[in-house]
Chain A
């Protein structure tokens, strides 16, 4: 049986977040299973199921080099800049 990853939109206005996974042979059954497993108490208003094998993921071992380019760029944050005294709304 195929493994499906389940993403749930908890409420209107929020984006889907990963909730867990289910097993099923086809998408329709996966959706039903996901509904039964993850939304028994109205935890969601919308469900996505995605074949786990269709997800490409970064691996934990490469965590450092993979995310390294963002680490030393402090000028991407507003706090890097000095706001002169008295300048409002910046």
Chain B
């Protein structure tokens, strides 16, 4: 990725506009029309006919993405009350607030496919749908807030920028919006680590320790290696997914190496080196068995994250009830006035 994030998002947006101008000849066959839309790089919209698997696959993917944004507030939220300065606290609050917003944009996009918000929330709370395994790791020090911004948001961005070109209109538009907002997330994390690594030896050690812990889980965010990836081929054909897991992982590694150098921190991989022949860095793959364990529920914080989410949902019940009651009363009052 030679150019900056915002340039790439702008490019995706421009492509979307250009593709929208292409004229398609409309056949009678709904499948042929759907195929033609995908072929022309245009967007499928909510009321269009679409294959059942396309709809189901999208609901699964968008829901999992939305749940990740929502659960993703927890590890960083853990540090809001202990941020070292008021400035850092305001920034962290703004970031966590953005993640809540991202969750909402994505739930809204999923709802256009014919599933309700309540069903999605239930699926998360009952453990029927997943969220990204990265959020099952603990945030032990303040430096982790930096490492999450730099590495976790960084990896998320590498995953998300291609999704700005996804074939489903509401998802693509949500991703464009999200990516524009993400650009500050990565920078604030990078700034935290840069400050720490140029501070006292203890601060630098704290930054290094945090990068050591977050590096491999971040690499695992791109999912299993291509040889084991189950959903990929179909997703690529439908232009939901544009690049393979391994391609994106490589892109992320190549991006991080020079950034780590400027930070003055090392990435915890003795095999990490530039390969002239490939034009990429060679690196050690993350432990995929660990990834599978964490996805299956056996990570350091799975139980805690789910318990917290359930508690928040239950404790919010009275707010939902009060809001419904208030709306009912307001409606009756309005009805009486109009009489």
Contact = CB atoms under 8 A, between A and B. Distances in A.
Interface of A: 9-15, 46, 73, 75-78, 80-90
Contacts of A88: 255, 258-259
A11 B19 CA distance: 9
A13 B17 CA distance: 7
B104 to A, nearest CB: 16
Contact of A13 (B172, B184, B191, B194): B172
Identify the 8 closest CB pairs spanning chains A and B, nearest first.
A11-B20, A13-B43, A81-B187, A87-B262, A78-B183, A13-B20, A78-B184, A89-B255
Interface of B: 1, 4-6, 16-17, 19-21, 37, 42-43, 45, 47, 87, 90-91, 94, 98, 169, 172-173, 181, 183-184, 186-188, 190-191, 194, 255, 258-259, 261-263
B interface, over-half SS? helix
Given A13-B43, A86-B262, A87-B259, 12 more contacts: A10-B20, A12-B42, A12-B43, A13-B20, A46-B45, A73-B94, A76-B94, A76-B184, A78-B6, A78-B183, A84-B194, A87-B262
A88 B154 CA distance: 13
Nearest to A87: B262
Nearest to B198: A84
Nearest to B262: A87
Given A12-B20, A12-B45, A89 B1 contact: yes
Nearest to B13: A13
Contacts, number: 77
Given A78-B187, A90-B186, A9 B259 contact: no
Contacts of A81: 184, 187-188, 190-191
15 contacts: A11-B21, A12-B45, A13-B20, A13-B45, A13-B169, A77-B184, A78-B184, A80-B184, A83-B187, A84-B194, A86-B262, A88-B255, A89-B1, A89-B5, A90-B4
A51 B20 CA distance: 29
Of B47, B255, B262, B263, most buried by chain A (CB within 10 Å of CB) is B262
Nearest to B94: A76
Nearest to B190: A90
A75 B83 CA distance: 15
A73 B188 CA distance: 14
Contacts of B45: 9, 12-13, 46
